[in-house]
Chains A and B, each alone.
Chain A
Amino acid sequence: MAQKMLSRRSFLKAAGLSGAGAILASCARTATPTPELKPTQATDKVTVAPTVPPTAAPKAPDEIRVMLGQFAGATVTEQVSYIEGLICERLNIKFKKAIVPGDVRIEKRNVMMAGGELDYAFGAGLPDYYDLISRGQLLDLTDLLPAKAPNYWPYVDDTMKKYIAYKGRVYGLIGPAVPLKFGEPPRADKPSTWVRTAMRKDWLEKLGLQPPKNIDEFFDVAKAFYDQDPGGVGKDNIIPIVACNGFVWNNLDFAFGAYGVQYNTWYLDEADQTVKSYDVHPGMKDALAWLQKAYAANLIDKDFITQKEPQMLDKIKNGYVGVFSSHYYPQWIGGGAIFHEMEQLQLIKEGSLKEGDKFTPDTDNPPTYWTYLEPPTGPNGDSGYPGSMGYSGVWPGCIPRNAKNVDAVLKLWDFLATEEGYLLLNYGVKDKDYVMTEDKGPQPGPAVGDKDFATYRQEIGCSQVPQGWNGFGSTYPGFAQKYEWATSAYSTERAATKYGVPAGKFGTVLIYDMALQWARPKYVNFTGNQGLSAPSAGQLSARLAATRDEYCAKIVTGAFALDKFDEFVARWQADGGDTLVNEYTEAYKAKLSE
């Protein structure tokens, strides 16, 4: 449960998750497009108009209202970027953006919605999305899309529907995926984020230890770090295992995974075909026992509940930390991308150590070298990280029931689904921002100069729409695939089949990959990703989450005995957990019979 509560946080992560677009766009300089980049000059380059009638008479542009979250590591601005300008001009639309601090965007949205006046489109994580649908707050797009967005509609295939359809109806929009480089396709073969664990390689070597494979070895290594202080930082400072924000920041998920559970995650019990929560699974008690033991042995950061990410990161950088887990964003340079920094500075070492590097140039701390760990296995051979933790790669753009500018939004989506729209959105203007080659697809155009793709895209505000609208619609790798230049130039087909997804039907929404990489499918949040909704979920989630967080925090820190977990289970069930189990199971059965 508690997906709602989590979804605020997960949304933060998902801002990075909606592909590199969000990332790049997040850093995009939109302030002042240089004169020669004025949208007007681009019109002659845009030639084909498959569905959208040419912008003929001077008519007032249609307004698209969209609510965006302002998240850490991502700056969205009101100003119209170069690319946005081109699209607006092309379609005779204009954007009106409401920008909301990311961590409280749901509150703001709910206030506007409760006022019955929300007419901004917005993005929602899947649990949130289904909750809104079941409350009747979103516009049903099923009948509108074929008529108003004929280019887009074919992409809403069975795979996509698996994620965004509710009782067979579609209420959300998924945006086109973002290429990462010139000559590289949108990535379907890699998740945009997952959890990874890194351990101090230099400490391991100093103590002559091997990277731990199972959860007991993990404990022993952490204990050795604490007892022997290989870094010489002092007993008071050394933190073998660091974490922040309690459990919801995924820093301790390796421990849950080892005991066959995940925090805040629903699963399908195959045996009795019931949808249940890992929060009250017996394995949760075992995981908490391990954490309690580790905490008592000073292996877990004593501040792990109260501190926030910056404190944690500073501890890591100070060389106090032995092992940590965090989200890994292959391309995100926004906040929290600690691994990215470490990789850039070549501190993640596979071979043996080199002298001379420093973690951050402005400290006098000794360099720290790290190695990635496989998630430790538990007594039953379980291991892994959460597959989705309440978010997934799917982040539908939603149009509220009262919205006034539905046609304009659909027009935009339809355009983005055309080849012209896709190229304009992702590469800019042909022969200026990019040139099209036979064999390598789009390549840097004259305006790009020496800059690399990412930098250039930042400058022109590429992919501001819609992926760069943080959280507004997630990416859909399928978009580019049908074009000749895309499939011939890239090996996406292979990448797709590798994970057992049929190539032609490019339904790989990113969750697939996340589940298959380090996460185990069993840890993918079942309810969210099966599109299951429970009528009471919205009303119970925050409360159940608070109860769970309280018990778990107190158990791990030793304020509660482990046996209190049984009390928690009873309370969880009585407070509405059982209701949710029943409702989700009902929903699942209903879905099966569909």
Chain B
Amino acid sequence: MNLPPNIPLAVPVKRSAESVAEAPRTFRQEFRKRRLLYLMLIPAIIYFFIYRYLPLFGVLVAFTDYDIIGGVFKSPWVGLKYFRMLFADPYFWRVLRNTLIISIYKLVWGFPAPIILALLFNELRSQNFKRVTQSLSYLPNFLSWVILYGLFYQFLYRSGLVNNVIIKPLLGHPIDFFGDSRYFRSLLVITDVWKNVGWGTIIYLAALAGINPELYEAASIDGAGKWKQALHITLPGIRSVISITLILSMGGILRAGFEQVLLMQNPLVFDVGDIIDTFTYRVGLVDQNYSYSAAVGLFQSVTGMLLVLGVNRVTKQMGQEGIW
């Protein structure tokens, strides 16, 4: 049984079987019960309205010459000026390219990794070993990028442990992970995967936990090996989670990890490591071109949205569960 032992399962299950069968609910009852459900939604709807929808008037900034003193509504309307500026800016194309490349790398490596790891965790037989391994793999996620930056700099810089122990003996010279354009994206991807892979397994493990063990029993009685079970029971069991995760990760494809990149980048790797978010940060927040950065932000959002909707549609057509 996949339920915690402290829940009085037996009794309600029994009753439900009987009562569902015999007593159809009246409309009145139905409404009363539903009303409670709607009531539960109210705080959430209010919250989303205030903190998620009200700030959306900020996208208007992208169409105005934002005047700090006047605020959004008193700023002169300039239409698509900042979008034209954006697409005419060669620097923007560079950061867009970098963002896409880094995101896609992160997706290619970072998306399947937790799925595979979750499946492997699932196959570990020793519960103690499994627990320890899982705990260790979650650990990096508790550390902020600030910490990780300090940690990885120490570990990976030219005279750090990795260079001294592994790279120098192998290659004869150290690799400057932080200052060499050839390695910087790998650094971003590796550290990102390192930080997130263990944590990412949680959602899949939770999904795995939801698979009915009877299915496995039945399969092994039918003579299906582990591999077949994984293919025919486990994967289909977590398929919906996989597709949802994938769809949602599309929304972030133009956001390649602001904090991580901001901390790790330096002039030597701007050409490969400067991304839209760091660009916006400089242009918008430091240089105070609010309209321009709002235009960039809107571009990111709309692109992300289109991607999510597109992929959602495709997955649905493929017969998978979409996000709604």
Contacts and interface: CB of A to CB of B under 8 A. Distances in A.
Interface of A: 4-5, 106-107, 110-111, 113-114, 116, 135-137, 236, 246, 302-303, 305-307, 401, 538-543, 546, 549-550, 552-554, 557, 559, 575
B301 interface: no
A559 B157 contact: no
A516 B288 CA distance: 35
Contacts of A543: 91, 282-283, 287
Contacts of A542: 282-283, 286-287
Contact of B287 (A236, A540, A559): A540
Contacts of A575: 91
Given A137-B69, A306-B179, A538 B287 contact: yes
Interface in B138-193: 153, 157-159, 176, 178-179, 181
Contact of B179 (A116, A236, A540, A557): A557
Given A111-B285, A137-B69, A543-B287, 4 more contacts: A306-B266, A307-B157, A546-B270, A550-B271
Given A4-B287, A542-B283, A542-B286, A306 B268 contact: yes
A114 B286 contact: no
Contacts of B267: 246, 305, 546, 549-550, 552-554
A559 B158 contact: no
B287 A305 contact: no
25 contacts: A4-B286, A5-B282, A5-B286, A106-B286, A110-B286, A111-B285, A114-B66, A114-B290, A116-B69, A136-B69, A246-B266, A246-B267, A306-B176, A306-B178, A306-B179, A306-B268, A401-B69, A538-B288, A541-B287, A542-B286, A543-B282, A550-B270, A554-B267, A557-B179, A575-B91
Interface of B: 66, 68-69, 71, 91, 153, 157-159, 176, 178-179, 181, 266-268, 270-271, 274, 282-283, 285-290
Contacts of A5: 282, 286
B181 A559 contact: yes
Contacts of A113: 68
A136 B66 CA distance: 13
A557 B268 contact: yes
Most chain A beta carbons < 10 A, residue from B69, B267, B270, B282: B267
Contacts, number: 84
Nearest to A7: B286
Main secondary structure of the interface of A (DSSP, over half): helix
Contacts of B288: 110, 114, 135, 538-539
The 6 closest A-B pairs by CB, nearest first: A549-B267, A553-B267, A542-B282, A306-B178, A550-B270, A542-B287
Most chain B beta carbons < 10 A, residue from A236, A307, A538, A552: A307
Most chain B beta carbons < 10 A, residue from A236, A303, A538: A303
B268 A305 contact: yes
Given A136-B69, A554-B268, A303 B286 contact: no
A100 to B, nearest CB: 14
Contacts of B157: 303, 306-307
Nearest to B180: A559
B54 to A, nearest CB: 13
Given A546-B274, A554-B268, A303 B287 contact: no
A463 B267 CA distance: 39
Nearest to A554: B268
B157 to A, nearest CB: 6
A303 B174 CA distance: 12
Contacts of B271: 550
A469 B81 CA distance: 41
Given A136-B69, A546-B282, A553-B267, A302 B176 contact: yes
A591 to B, nearest CB: 24
Contacts of B71: 116
Contacts of A136: 69
B122 to A, nearest CB: 40
Contacts of A554: 267-268
A540 B287 CA distance: 7
B179 A305 contact: yes
Nearest to B274: A546
Given A553-B266, A553-B268, A306 B153 contact: yes
Contacts of A305: 179, 266-268
Contacts of A302: 158, 176
Contacts of B289: 539
Contacts of A135: 68, 288
Contacts of A307: 157
Most chain A beta carbons < 10 A, residue from B266, B274, B282, B287: B287
Contacts of B179: 303, 305-306, 557
Contacts of A540: 287
B282 to A, nearest CB: 4
B259 to A, nearest CB: 12
Nearest to A557: B268
A554 B287 CA distance: 24
Contacts of B268: 305-306, 550, 553-554, 557, 559
A135 B66 CA distance: 12
A435 B127 CA distance: 75
Contacts of B158: 302-303
Contacts of B282: 5, 542-543, 546
A541 B285 CA distance: 12
Contacts of B274: 546
Nearest to A5: B286
A107 B158 CA distance: 32
Contacts of A401: 69
Nearest to B178: A306
Nearest to A308: B153
A213 B287 CA distance: 41
